[in-house]
């Protein structure tokens, strides 16, 4: 495309179908303890 460069094709919808296993870290624990960001966390689902 000439005008739009798509950077990623991450599809959250596909992740919803297979997601929710709960193996990942609780987000607030990791480094902050006063503000919540979730999208910086790793998925820990075993393949």
The residues, ordered by sequence, that sit 6+ positions from 36 with a Cβ below 8 Å of its Cβ are 27, 28
What are the structure tokens assigned to 11, written together?
Answer: 């599809």
Q: Least distance in Å: CB of 37 to another protein?
A: 6
Q: Which CB contacts under 8 angstroms, 24+ apart, belong to 21-29? A: 21/45
Any contact of residue 47 with another protein (CB under 8 A)?
A: no
Site string for another protein, 1-40 (x = CB under 8 A): xxxxxxxxxxxxx-xx-xxxxxxxxxxxxxxxxxxxxxxx
Interface with another protein, residue 42, by CB under 8 A: yes
Binding site for another protein (CB under 8 A): 1-13, 15-16, 18-45
């Amino acid at each position: 495309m000439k005008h739009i460069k798509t950077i990623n094709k991450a599809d959250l919808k596909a992740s919803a179908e297979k997601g929710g296993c709960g193996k990942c870290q609780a987000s607030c624990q990791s480094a902050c303890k006063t503000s919540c960001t979730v999208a910086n966390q790793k998925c820990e689902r075993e393949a």
